[in-house]
Structure 1
């Protein structure tokens, strides 16, 4: 019992920060290991446009961009009939000429009303987990934008850790995140009442009440590994600009299995961790500058050369934008809008919305989420971890029994150690099977398996070193 209480204190009171660091590492590695097998059925239905440093170095964009420049970008996108458009931006103050804001708002209305393309922008609501509190920022979105867009999903949240909130209910309202708003738009019906073509897992998810009934309020985002094929056509260089090719990894099962194994081995040593930063990010992506240049090229038909270039650019943009959910975000140095992907490393913040939407389209109601709370602050994964610690103390008791038997020169002491080793391996196999079951069947977030393995290794090794036989003047004795 004292040993068990000490282990529980190390894991849950966490006086040394051991549990906190290994908990996040456990999730990251688990998502790395499973990333080669993440389904890519929704990947090519989502496109990301980045207003990046390369865009700001051109004549097309200022910093901050004016509404005239946003209008040009939106018009270039809308030409190719996207399924929905989302600006991962807060429009708080007017920029550029006086009429630019009105023209931009009118363009949003035209796209929304006449082309049946919903347009979303970041809203002003903030939410806080664990409370019923929600409020609007003192600086609100420009009313011209608020009136023009289809809706304003909430833009700021706290209390969810590294999870992504899909919706929250407070003050009698249901607030949706960007991913949930886009999911609702993707699953909407057209004017004839028939289902739209696309990857929607269930047409009823176009209803807010059905979303809150079907999917969890917060999800643990799974990240895909294989970059979209169109990225290789768009950019021969990688997203980080270092000149490496955007080559999708092999789709063969054995290759996927080997990559999963290498990610697992890398969990225990950074030196053994495979380099996965050379691949492009998961979803199709394009610089805003590149998109506008291609849109201008697509409009040229004056000469044979121009016509050939126009057709090539038009084909790229149709493949990139047509019937796709388009997210527009920032990738600008000095702007703190990034997230850490366990697979691709640091990526622009808009990628979290894209990946959360991808999860919802691929997994439907089977999204990964936190385990249910059982008592106080302990949830299902905590219960599994406590059970693992209990097994460790039982194994330690068995190890001590074997050592005492050995010191008393009982004939089957060696067999006892073999049985102990087999029992320990059986426990490890059982817990890995249990972890897999909670992840793939119950869809819980991964437990702190690295912490359990590390703590168990150190604990059993220490117990073994203190219970083995040691020589002295009278022969071998147990200490």
Structure 2
């Protein structure tokens, strides 16, 4: 009787018909659940590591395609793109030691740097250092050093100006710095952008000495505030504008603070708001037509170029735990290039760079990070003296020639930043790992110059219920393409399982419990399930990377695509969609 009831129960159980609608519903449910979870997880939990992993896998391909697309545009108009090329001038610890400088450096040090830019005028200059030192304090230190004949007195000075006697030293360094800036802007017609802080009134300021000087007020102040991603700390996005914070409970300035506030800088008037460094340079110098409203904070997605510069950042490999792990692993994909002592790897072949970056994204010890994309001049490479006077020292082998400096600076955009191994001005790139923050501004400006003047092309938006119909249309298109891919993957997965089930079913001698053949069958089945899970997960991740690139082609920010795909892949790899579909339809797969 019990056997008859069991057979009757099996007859009454609902099975999928031909299997098509079951696969169709399962694949569709994976995509729908992926979109739903992408809405919920970042908001409620904030730590969707799968999305960042997917984005890291896609970053090398995005950089590769970015370089390829830009190379075609550059080939069509090399003269125009020469002025859009970026050179980074970094202040390193070696130059501070050679010039007997501390940090923050004296104004005379910056005068010394600017003399080379005046000699080889660039397209524009961005100083990514907030000049917070007071000219009074600076002059006092310099005067004391002169009176005591301090051997540690800074030696790198602008030889083209007369420093004057000791008695008039109080403001000479600041004046010489100001004169160097004025020569750039007035005589050489070079726009200068100064890094600045935001005040509580949402204006950009440097320091009272600079901001109160009538001539220096004309220099454009730009914002440098940046927040890395909250999960992986990587620089995926970059701010465009900084609207005033009107959140409830936000401390407002007192009337006294408002009365003594620094006059507003250009671009900070009512109805407008401060711009970030890259966006301001793009608008002011390159006359970009991209308009960004100041009603709320706006960000752009940053694509880091894959190609490496011939003259990049001269950092040596650190003696840390990752280095030990990397040198203990075999095989590595970045060896035998003659740059083993460098922190980064470089190669003329972009295919090799793509392979190395992807290997590092999968397992960090397999490769060092890629070298930076932008030509980098270290301040320690600049000759310490100029001219033919008696103070001119014999140049050493590390110093650059006039021809090299002319090629690096003249007509190009120059960004000046710091390059200290341990500093708070460092960012994490998905390709270059830990690098000076000035390279983030360079990458952002490079992106703005490379993409059309359309906010939709660069804006980093997130999934919201209240979105323009155009964005919902893109998400729907992405969902349809994703459904087709998931349907194919699910179909192949089911076919493989069916073949294995038939193979297993034919071996009737495997069914005797606790027999040696039974244990063999269990082992084979376990191995099959594990292999199928790993292979299907690898296929899903590869499909996810392709979908991120497809989304980028449709101007969908990669983190949005990554969030949806990470959730959808989790749903499918754990087979939640199959079980949920069976439960909803009250069906059972054979």
Q: Into which bin does the TM-score normalised by the smaller protein fall? A: 0.5 to 0.7
Q: 2:450 aligns with which of 340, 343, 362?
A: 362
Summarize the Cα distance change of 1:335–1:301 in structure 2 as closer, same or farther, 3 Å threshold.
same
The one of 36, 48, 54 aligned to 1:20: 48
SS in 2 for 1:285: strand
**Any idea what the Cα deviations from partners look like across 1:34-79, whole Å, max 9, x if unmatched?**
3234236569821111112222222352211011111111122221
Secondary structure at the counterpart of residue 423 of structure 2: coil
Q: Tell me the SS of whatever aligns to 1:166.
A: strand
Which ranges in structure 1 are unaligned for 5 or more consecutive residues? Answer: 128-132, 188-203, 409-420, 468-476
Structure scoring higher RCO (CA < 8 A, sep ≥ 6) equals: 2
Aligned to 2:290: 211
Point out where structure 2 has 5 or more consecutive residues left out of the alignment.
1-24, 75-80, 140-169, 231-235, 245-269, 319-339, 503-532, 583-587
* Corresponding residue for residue 514 of structure 2: none
TM-score (norm 1): 0.68
Residues 117-171 of structure 1: per-residue CA shift (max 9 Å, x gap): 11111123369xxxxx835679767325684152101232569974112235663
CA contact (8 A) 2:90 2:377 kept: yes
After superposition, give the CA deviation of every residue in 1:299-354 in whole Å (9 maximum; x if it has no partner): 3499xx97999996111111111111111111235430111111111110011111
| Corresponding residue number in structure 2 for 1:221 | 302
Q: Which residue of 1 aligns with 2:348?
A: 250
1:163 to 220, 228, 237: 237
- CA RMSD, Structure 1 to Structure 2 (Å): 5.1
TM-score norm. by structure 2 comes to 0.57
Aligned counterpart, 2:164:
none
Verify the 8 A CA contact 1:368 1:439 in the aligned structure 2.
no
Closer, same or farther: CA 338–402 of 1 in aligned 2, 3 Å: closer
Distance (whole Å) between structure 2 residues aligned to residue 142 and residue 440 of structure 1: 44
Alignment map for 1:74-473 (pairs within 5 Å): 74-95=114-135, 96-97=138-139, 98-99=170-171, 100-125=173-198, 134-135=202-203, 142-144=210-212, 147-148=215-216, 150-156=219-225, 162-168=236-242, 171-187=270-286, 204-205=287-288, 210-212=289-291, 217-231=298-312, 243-244=341-342, 248-251=346-349, 256-257=350-351, 259-260=353-354, 263-264=357-358, 267-270=361-364, 274-277=367-370, 279=371, 281-293=372-384, 296=385, 299-300=387-388, 313-365=401-453, 367-371=457-461, 375-376=465-466, 434-442=547-555, 444-446=557-559, 447-448=561-562, 451-452=566-567, 454-456=569-571, 458-460=573-575
Measure the CA separation in 1 of the matches of 2:50 and 2:301: 16
Please report how far the alpha carbon of residue 282 of structure 1 lies from its aligned counterpart in structure 2 after TM superposition: 1.3
Alpha-carbon separation, structure 2, partners of 1:141 and 1:31: 43
Partners of 2:544 and 2:562 within 8 A in 1: no
Matching residue within 79, 96, 114 for 1:56:
96
CA distance in 2, matches of 1:327, 1:70: 13
Distance 1:312 1:258 in 2: 30
8 Å Cα contact 1:300/1:310 also seen in 2: no
Q: Equivalents in 2 of 1:244, 1:179: separation in Å? A: 29
Change beyond 3 A, Cα 1:71–1:424: closer
Deviation at 1:368, TM superposition (A): 3.5
The answer to whether 1:30 aligns with 2:58 is yes
